[in-house]
């Protein structure tokens, strides 16, 4: 695995003098093509070395953001990749499919709203059927809404959307996937620095991410005897479509500027952590762990 130095240099060039990005807004869930500047998913910078050769991965929310970066990295490491996504994110999914296939790997597109248990079950079943099995599950899909000032502003509909996307779906998809995972397989959950340093405006989102870290440790203990590893990555402020789609414009402008590194991160800067955790060789004794990719913010 090689992530060329240019990825960090490019990430620094993409931010403004506040560490964030130009003011902009989209409607949730947001599209990559409408972002300024476009995120770096490792399209020009990630070089694989066969760490996941012959493996089969399912990535939820794999159409854009961190999910797309992981899909590109996994494909370049030799894995076939299935991605799930919301139907209105089809254009982003097609772009990710293009990059997977450019790496000469199989790409499987699985649209559907994972807030429905039946959709979660069918996504896993279809991924297994199309890929011929499953070795890596990446529970990456997530939702947040930060355009509010108090928990009193959180509506029941927003609470349902956040908890069902971030936690219910994680349970349902993992339950459906476990019977298909054998010794050497791994589950990688996308947590967040919000689990450790919660922002008041993201109270519901932060609560789900804290739940994901707990889920990760609990499940690792349960399935360890089967040789299945369970870990999580906790990203900090990463430039994905969720940011302009759910943050006020003024926060987009300053997004990530409060990190010790002084800037937001790019999706490509998260990919290596997901590759490491998926590798049955490099991470063979790593389970129940959370890797922070936060620009210096603590995850403990």
296 backbone dihedrals φ, ψ, rounded to 5°: 115, -10
**C-alpha to C-alpha distance for 55 and 74, rounded to whole angstroms:** 9
Query: Is residue 186 within a helix (H) or strand (E), and if so which, with residue range?
Result: strand 186-190
Three-class secondary structure of residue 188 per DSSP: strand
Instruction: List CB contacts of 271: < 8 A, sequence separation 6 or more.
Output: 3, 41, 42, 46, 66, 69, 70, 72, 73
Among residues 46, 74, 85, 205, the one annotated as catalytic is 205
Answer whether 190's CB lies under 8 Å from 70's CB. no
* Neighbouring C-alpha atoms within 13 Å toward the C-beta of 272: 15
What Å distances lie between residue 13 and 7, 16, 48, 221, 240, CA to CA? Answer: 10, 8, 24, 42, 16
Residue 205 among the catalytic residues: yes
* Active site residues per annotation: 205
């Amino acid at each position: 695995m090689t992530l060329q130095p240019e990825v960090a240099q490019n990430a620094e060039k993409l931010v403004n003098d506040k560490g964030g990005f130009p003011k902009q807004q989209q409607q949730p869930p947001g599209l990559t093509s409408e972002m300024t500047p476009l995120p770096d998913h490792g399209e020009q910078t990630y070089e694989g070395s066969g760490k996941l050769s012959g493996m089969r991965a399912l990535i939820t929310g794999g159409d854009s953001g961190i999910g797309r970066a992981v899909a590109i990295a996994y494909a370049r490491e030799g894995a076939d990749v299935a991605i799930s996504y919301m139907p209105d994110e089809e254009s982003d999914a097609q772009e990710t499919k293009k990059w997977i296939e450019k790496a000469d790997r199989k790409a499987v597109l699985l649209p559907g709203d994972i807030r429905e248990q039946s959709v979660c079950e069918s996504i896993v079943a279809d991924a297994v059927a199309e890929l011929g099995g499953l070795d890596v599950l990446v529970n990456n899909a997530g939702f947040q809404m930060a355009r509010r000032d108090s928990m009193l502003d959180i509506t029941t509909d927003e609470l349902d959307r956040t908890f069902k996307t971030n936690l219910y779906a994680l349970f349902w998809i993992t339950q459906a996937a476990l019977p298909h995972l054998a010794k050497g397989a791994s589950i990688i959950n996308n947590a967040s620095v919000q689990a450790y340093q919660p922002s008041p405006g993201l109270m519901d989102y932060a609560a789900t991410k804290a739940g994901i870290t707990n889920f990760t440790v609990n499940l690792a203990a349960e399935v360890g005897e089967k040789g299945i590893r369970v870990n999580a990555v906790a990203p900090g402020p990463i430039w994905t479509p969720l940011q302009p789609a759910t943050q006020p414009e003024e926060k987009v402008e300053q997004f990530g500027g409060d990190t010790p590194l002084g800037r937001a991160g790019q999706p490509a800067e998260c990919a290596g952590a997901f590759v490491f955790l998926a590798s049955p060789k490099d991470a063979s004794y790593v389970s129940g762990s959370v890797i922070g990719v936060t620009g210096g913010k603590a995850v403990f």
